């Protein structure tokens, strides 16, 4: 169990800041779903947490321990795993090799082999397509293998960046069911979703990102019914809950 | 026909050595997106080192390979740390060209001072010996050189496919961000990868000095050939580079035998231009990075 806490995180690529003071808390054992328009900085949050990007200001902590200056492999060893938005399998390696690499930081091949058998119980496709090149799998199959690989280290917190992107309705449903199932086994989930309805439905809490800050935070279902969320998706600016009432035009 | 087959044999044997030379180049490109234009100079350096060990200490070049490759592996790691690692990731491809070109000129300059600019050859006792098989000549040196290349390439293949380090190398080639997210130490992989690349150049250089006269400026010709090979093989693909090297070696030898020895070194560029017009991704290149 672990609680992830971001406080005033500022980060970016090259010059400008993309995250401009992001504060967010993901409670142990919960599912947090972050939504928001393209370019809002959702993926950038995950990159900052996993150590791909070093924040310029603010703090990131897990169970009170700061992790903002750690390298990706150190973040991994704290039980935090990041499944990026882009395809992340190694296309010319087999499915089995890909998943085994999920346990690379263990430095213990024998343990990795035992673990992959456990993971394969849950994801039969690992055995069915064991020797297939990962690049030859369909998008949905690849997503499943990515999820399986992320579980190799038996993480405490999993960060999923738009896991349903490009999937057909059935595969999408399967992904959400899997996420829910993982959460029921005690895994904390930080989910970024463009598919706001489906994401918020399985989430305990939701957050809306816009322009590099968290604009709204509420319980998942409440956010679903919030008219301001609708406004956001129509492209209109939203005002935070605690700010002054919306000005009339 | 006899002449044609003899040329093919000769070309195949030379192609094996080209394959070894190109393997390091394509590996460095795959892992770091670094086009190491100093690979030719590294080969020439290897040739001079084994030449010196042979003339001064009477160590056979095939023995000196065993001594020199681990040493040059370390030198390669050091070069990567000093010259390539500091380059910013987003401009590494372009800047690495300049940096490694400077390295090539530096090595050439150093060798010119130490050895002057005349041609050398590492001539062993078996240099002129050859076997006759079914009426064809098989030069001993060239067969040994080919054999050594096959052995080293096999070891490289096993390293890449059977070891955890090899898997991290391939992972880095195929998706560097994803590799980092899985905890792969990409900096370490890059440094060791460059070391391996320089080690293969050294090994290739030792045998190069036995089959071809060389001088400090030989690297210009070598690097042009090697670049043609890896472009033909599909940048970053080891298997592609090997096939392309064998193909180029044979094309050159056949051209020399059947048409004109003077113009045979142009074969590389004629083939390259023809292929690039017809198949820009290279003969054996795929659009995916990191095919073995
Ligand atoms: N590697 C990068 N280098 C430079 N700028 C980047 C990089 N990655 C993202 N950006 C910029 O950062 C901003 C936020 O990107 P981010 O990927 O976090 O958005 P997002 O909210 O995940 O969007 P989407 O819904 O499209 O995935 C964008 O304007 C993008 O152009
Ligand atoms: Mg994104």
Range of the domain at A145: 2-242
Q: Which ligand is nearest to the CA of B177?
A: 1
Q: Is residue B274 one of the residues assigned to a domain?
A: no
Report the relative pairing of strands A57-62 and A65-66 from DSSP bridges.
antiparallel
Residue A56 belongs to some domain of the structure: yes
Question: What are the pLDDT digits (tens) for A170-219?
Answer: 989 999 999 999 999 999 999 999 888 889 999 999 999 999 999 989 88
Residue A23 placed within a domain: yes
Asked if residue B177 is part of any domain, the answer here is yes
Contact A134, A98 (CB under 8 A): yes
User: Partners of A138 in the beta sheet?
Assistant: none
Centre of ligand 2 to C-alpha A166, Å, is 13
8-27 in B: which are within 8 Å (CB) of A? none
Give domain status of residue B257, yes or no: no
Min Cα–Cα distance to chain B from A39, Å: 19
**Among the ranges A61-65, A98-102, A220-224, which has the highest mean pLDDT value?**
A98-102
> What percent of chain A has a predicted confidence (pLDDT) above 90?
77
Cβ contact (<8 Å) for B290 and A90? Answer: yes
CATH of the domain at A109: 3.40.50.300
Q: Please say whether the beta carbons of B277 and B31 come within 8 A.
A: no
Q: Is B43 helix (H, G, I), strand (E, B) or coil?
A: helix
0.90 exceeded by pTM: no
CA of A31 to the centre of ligand 2 (A): 18
In chain B, % helix, strand, coil (3-state, to 5) comes to 75, 5, 20
Output the residue whose Cα is nearest ligand 1's atom 26. A38
Name the DSSP class of A42: H
Q: Would you say residue B92 lies in a domain?
A: yes
Domain that holds residue B152: 2-219
Q: Ligand 1 pocket, A11 CB below 6 A?
A: no
Q: How many domains does chain A have?
A: 1
Kindly indicate the confidence band of residue B283, based on its pLDDT and cuts at 50, 70 and 90. low
Mutate to test the interface with B, among A90, A95, A135, A153 (most CBs of B within 10 A): A90
Residue A17 reports pLDDT greater than 70: yes
Give me the long-range contacts of B151-160 (CB less than 8 A, separation at least 24): B152/B20, B152/B200, B152/B203, B153/B19, B153/B20, B153/B23, B153/B242, B156/B23, B156/B27, B156/B196, B156/B200, B156/B238, B157/B238, B157/B292, B159/B196, B160/B238, B160/B292
Q: Do B183 and A76 touch (CB under 8 A)?
A: yes
Number of domains in chain B: 1
Q: Which of A41, A53, A193, A210 to mutate to test the pocket of ligand 1 (most atoms within 8 A of CB)?
A: A41
Cβ neighbours of residue B64 closer than 8 Å, sequence gap 6 or more: B49, B50, B53, B54, B206
* ipTM of predicted complex: 0.89
Question: In this structure, is the dihedral angle defined by the CA atoms of residues B31, B32, B37 and B38, taken in order, positive or negative?
Answer: negative
Instruction: Kindly state whether residue A89 falls inside one of the protein's structural domains.
Output: yes
Strand partners for A82: A159
Q: Please indicate, yes or no, if residue A249 is contained in any of the structural domains.
A: no
- The best mutation among A18, A38, A45, A82 to test binding of ligand 1, ranked by most ligand atoms within 8 Å of the C-beta, falls on A18
Q: How confident is the model at residue A236 (pLDDT cuts 50, 70, 90)?
A: very low
Q: What is the pLDDT of residue A242?
A: 43
């Amino acid at each position: 169990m672990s609680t992830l806490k971001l406080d005033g995180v500022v980060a970016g690529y090259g010059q400008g800041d993309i995250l401009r003071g992001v504060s967010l808390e993901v409670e142990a054992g919960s599912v947090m779903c972050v939504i928001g328009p393209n370019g809002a900085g959702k993926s950038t949050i995950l990159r900052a947490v996993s150590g791909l990007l070093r924040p310029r200001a603010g703090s990131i902590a897990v169970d009170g321990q700061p992790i903002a200056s750690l390298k990706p492999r150190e973040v991994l060893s704290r039980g935090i795993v990041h499944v990026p938005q882009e395809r992340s399998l190694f296309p010319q390696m087999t499915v089995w090799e890909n998943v085994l690499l999920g346990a690379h930081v263990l430095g213990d091949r024998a343990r990795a082999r035992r673990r992959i058998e456990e993971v394969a119980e849950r994801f039969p496709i690992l055995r069915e397509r064991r020797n297939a090149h990962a690049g030859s799998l369909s998008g949905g199959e690849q997503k499943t293998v990515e999820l399986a690989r992320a579980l190799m280290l038996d993480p405490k917190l999993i960060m999923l960046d738009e896991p349903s992107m490009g999937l057909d309705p059935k595969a999408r449903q399967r992904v959400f069911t899997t996420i829910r199932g993982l959460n029921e086994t005690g895994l904390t989930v930080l989910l970024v979703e463009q598919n706001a309805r489906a994401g918020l439905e399985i989430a305990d809490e939701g957050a809306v990102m816009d322009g590099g800050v968290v604009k709204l935070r509420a319980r998942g279902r409440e956010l679903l019914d919030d008219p301001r969320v609708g406004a956001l998706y129509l492209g209109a600016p939203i005002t935070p809950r605690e700010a002054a009432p919306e000005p009339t035009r | 026909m006899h002449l044609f087959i003899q040329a093919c044999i000769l070309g195949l044997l030379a192609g094996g050595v080209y394959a070894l030379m190109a393997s390091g180049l394509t590996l460095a490109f795959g892992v770091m997106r670094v086009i190491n234009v100093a690979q030719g100079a590294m080969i020439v350096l290897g040739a001079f080192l084994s030449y010196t060990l042979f003339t001064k200490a009477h160590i056979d070049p095939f023995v000196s390979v065993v001594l020199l490759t681990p040493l040059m592996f370390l030198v390669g790691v050091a070069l990567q740390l000093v010259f390539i690692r500091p380059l910013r990731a987003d401009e590494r491809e372009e800047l690495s060209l300049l940096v490694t070109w400077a390295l090539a000129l530096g090595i050439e300059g150093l060798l010119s001072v130490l050895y002057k600019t005349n041609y050398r050859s590492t001539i062993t006792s078996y240099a002129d010996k050859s076997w006759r098989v079914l009426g064809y000549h098989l030069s001993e040196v060239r067969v040994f050189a080919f054999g050594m290349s096959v052995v080293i390439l096999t070891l490289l293949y096993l390293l890449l496919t059977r070891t955890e380090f090899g898997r991290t190398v391939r992972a880095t080639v195929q998706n560097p961000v994803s590799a980092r997210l899985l905890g792969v130490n990409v900096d370490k992989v890059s440094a060791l990868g460059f070391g391996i690349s320089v080690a293969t150049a050294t090994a290739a250089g030792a045998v190069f000095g036995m089959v071809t006269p060389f001088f400090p400026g030989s690297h210009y010709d070598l690097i042009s050939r090697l670049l043609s090979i890896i472009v033909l093989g599909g940048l970053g693909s080891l298997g592609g580079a090997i096939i392309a090297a064998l193909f180029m070696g044979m094309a050159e030898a056949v051209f020399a035998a059947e048409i004109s020895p003077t113009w045979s070194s142009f074969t590389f560029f004629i083939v390259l231009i023809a292929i690039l017009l017809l198949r820009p991704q290279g003969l054996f290149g795929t659009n995916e990075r990191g095919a073995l």
